[in-house]
């Protein structure tokens, strides 16, 4: 019976409402397994996404299901959870309830907001159409289609200048995602597509990585940034640090060199946005102070002022870690931090339910180090006590990611796909599936661009 009553009005157990099933929301939900609470987990998608590998779906190395697991399947055995696929449209802190897009109202005794982040174009939203970001599976499919179609259109395009633009790929942002994307794009051009084209040479493709600051992978020590840059260059990526992007359109990118000078034009058909991240707009619904990135400023217990029953975790939270030395340090926007915050919030709820308020300790982020992969046999690792790069770091990165993947089946399949890709240089998910409206629009323009003013070479022999 309990099953069907879970989360229903007739139940009198405290209601925990968790919004978002990323690393943070999932960790919080699991930490409450077996607890005498009714959990309602709301997410607008039906799957938990292993975002660290999303770039591999975008670059045709993995298929979507390998990194996305159905939320309700993952949690089917946790009987105190009701999973709802829905959008949240309103939060009423005073009345302790959340409104869904379809008008339903869900009451709560505890709320954990874990809605994550999206990409930000620093107020230049018109760039979105030309430089898609990479946060959802839809984004990944759109990007995959755009990259693969760029090569297809180059093979089709009679005009050399147009071919060159089609074979120019610009990645904006030298963080982990940008570095991974640039490295993989270079690998695709130089290895994966070898021998497959007759009119163009994909190896001639140009891959640029643009970073505003003076080095890539800011989060890592300068020595590792330097190693990463060398490995990128080894893969054939042009790395440009210290240059600001001032314009993006369907034909290319305008960059401003540091210290001024005239903006320089880079003709490119495919531009990937890996620069800005902004917190989910859901944070605004709380009507509390946000930081510049739109993140909710939370206290040591990850709560908000005056509402200890409301927790904000993961990328949506601007949290401080309470260090051993008494100082505080900002918590980085990485998945281990989100998981730790989720577990901490769940722990606080359990402590309160057991009347152990006194036992509550402020959140402390445990940093197990940073990893970034660059491409085939190339990566950098910083474990704090140990820093290394190259093949060893790449293998380490590989097994860490396999280990943290959701589900045994996915671990097996991804390991197989990677082994396959390693030996064959192939990427098996090279399927263009025309995705959402955005791409539909793109289609239109591409159709236009595709028109060759000069008659095609074959025309001469026609008739």
The secondary structure of the chain in percent helix, strand, coil, rounded to multiples of 5, reads 35, 25, 40
Among positions 72-131, residues that touch a second copy (CB under 8 A) are 72-73, 76-77, 81-86, 92, 94-97, 100-107
**Does residue number 350 form part of the binding site for a second copy (CB under 8 A)?**
no
One of 230, 297, 322, 426 touching a second copy (CB under 8 A): 426
User: What is the CA 132 to chain-centroid distance, rounded?
Assistant: 12
Contact 168, 267 (CB under 8 A): yes
**Does residue number 256 form part of the binding site for a second copy (CB under 8 A)?**
no
Total number of residues shown for the chain: 463
Q: Residue 141: which of 430, 408, 401, 461 has the closest Cα?
A: 430
Q: Does 180 participate in catalysis according to the annotation?
A: yes
Least distance to a second copy from the beta carbon of 314, Å?
21
Q: Rounded to an integer, what distance in angstroms lies between the CA atom of residue 312 and that of residue 110?
A: 11
Least distance to a second copy from the beta carbon of 360, Å?
26
With a CB cutoff of 8 Å and minimum separation 6, the contacts of 374 are 179, 180, 183, 228, 231, 232, 235, 380, 394
**Does residue number 375 form part of the binding site for a second copy (CB under 8 A)?**
no
Least distance to a second copy from the beta carbon of 283, Å?
21
Q: Residue 177: which of 140, 206, 146 has the closest Cα?
A: 140
Q: CA quadruple 166, 167, 171, 172: dihedral positive or negative?
A: negative
Contact 245, 255 (CB under 8 A): yes
Q: Which residue's CB is nearer to a second copy, number 107 or number 257?
A: 107
Choices 125-133, 150-158, 327-335, 353-361; region in contact with a second copy by CB under 8 A: 150-158
Among positions 155-194, residues that touch a second copy (CB under 8 A) are 155-156, 158
The active-site residue, picked from 87, 152, 180, 287, is 180
**Does residue number 195 form part of the binding site for a second copy (CB under 8 A)?**
yes
Least distance to a second copy from the beta carbon of 37, Å?
14
**Does residue number 138 form part of the binding site for a second copy (CB under 8 A)?**
yes
Q: Residue 335: which of 359, 303, 313 has the closest Cα?
A: 313
Q: Rounded to an integer, what distance in angstroms lies between the CA atom of residue 200 and that of residue 60?
A: 21
Least distance to a second copy from the beta carbon of 215, Å?
35
Among positions 10-69, residues that touch a second copy (CB under 8 A) are 15, 45-47, 63-66, 68
Residues binding a second copy: number (CB under 8 A):
84
Per-residue mark of binding to a second copy, 301-330 (x: CB under 8 A) = ------------------------------
Among positions 277-306, residues that touch a second copy (CB under 8 A) are none
Q: CA quadruple 7, 9, 15, 16: dihedral positive or negative?
A: positive
With a CB cutoff of 8 Å and minimum separation 6, the contacts of 356 are none
Q: Which residue's CB is nearer to a second copy, number 223 or number 436?
A: 436
One of 91, 137, 217, 334 touching a second copy (CB under 8 A): 137
Catalytically active residues, by annotation: 180
């Amino acid at each position: 019976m309990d099953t069907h009553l879970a989360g229903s009005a007739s139940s009198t157990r405290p209601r925990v409402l968790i919004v978002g099933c990323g690393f943070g929301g999932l960790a919080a939900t699991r930490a409450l397994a077996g607890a005498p609470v009714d959990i309602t987990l709301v997410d607008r998608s039906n799957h938990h996404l292993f975002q660290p590998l999303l770039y591999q779906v975008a670059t045709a190395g993995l298929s979507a299901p390998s990194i996305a697991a159905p939320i309700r399947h993952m949690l089917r055995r946790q009987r105190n959870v009701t999973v709802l696929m829905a959008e949240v449209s309103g939060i009423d802190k005073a009345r302790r309830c959340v409104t869904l897009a379809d008008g339903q109202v869900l009451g709560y005794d505890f709320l954990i907001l874990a809605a994550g982040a999206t990409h930000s174009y620093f107020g230049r939203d018109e760039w979105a159409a030309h430089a898609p970001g990479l946060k959802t599976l839809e984004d990944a499919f759109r990007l995959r289609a755009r990259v693969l179609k760029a090569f297809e259109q180059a093979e089709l395009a009679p005009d050399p200048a147009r071919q060159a633009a089609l074979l120019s790929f610009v990645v904006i942002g030298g963080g982990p995602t940008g570095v991974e994307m640039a490295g993989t794009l270079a690998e695709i051009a130089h290895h994966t597509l070898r021998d497959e084209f007759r009119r163009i040479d994909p190896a001639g493709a140009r891959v640029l990585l643009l970073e505003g600051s003076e080095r890539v992978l800011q989060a890592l020590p300068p020595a590792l940034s330097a190693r990463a840059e060398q490995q990128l260059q080894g893969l054939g990526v042009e790395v440009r640090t210290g240059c600001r992007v001032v314009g993006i359109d369907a034909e290319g990118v305008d960059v401003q060199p540091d210290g001024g000078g005239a903006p320089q034009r880079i003709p490119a058909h495919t531009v990937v946005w890996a620069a800005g991240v902004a917190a989910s707009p859901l944070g605004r619904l709380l009507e509390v102070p946000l930081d510049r990135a739109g993140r909710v400023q939370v206290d040591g217990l990850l709560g908000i002022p005056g509402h200890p029953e409301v927790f904000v975790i993961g990328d949506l939270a601007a949290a401080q870690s309470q260090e051993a030395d008494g100082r505080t340090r900002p918590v980085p926007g990485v998945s281990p931090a989100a998981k730790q915050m989720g577990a901490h919030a769940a722990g606080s709820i359990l402590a309160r339910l057991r009347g152990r308020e006194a036992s509550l300790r402020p959140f402390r982020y445990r940093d197990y180090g940073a990893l970034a992969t660059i491409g085939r046999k190339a990566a950098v690792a910083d474990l704090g006590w140990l820093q290394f790069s190259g093949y060893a770091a790449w293998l380490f990165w590989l097994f860490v990611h396999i280990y943290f993947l959701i589900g045994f089946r996915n671990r097996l399949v991804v390991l197989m796909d990677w082994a396959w890709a390693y030996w064959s240089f192939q990427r098996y998910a090279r399927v263009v599936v025309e995705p959402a409206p955005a791409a539909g629009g793109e289609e239109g323009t591409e159709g236009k661009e595709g028109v060759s003013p000069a008659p095609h070479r074959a025309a001469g022999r026609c008739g």
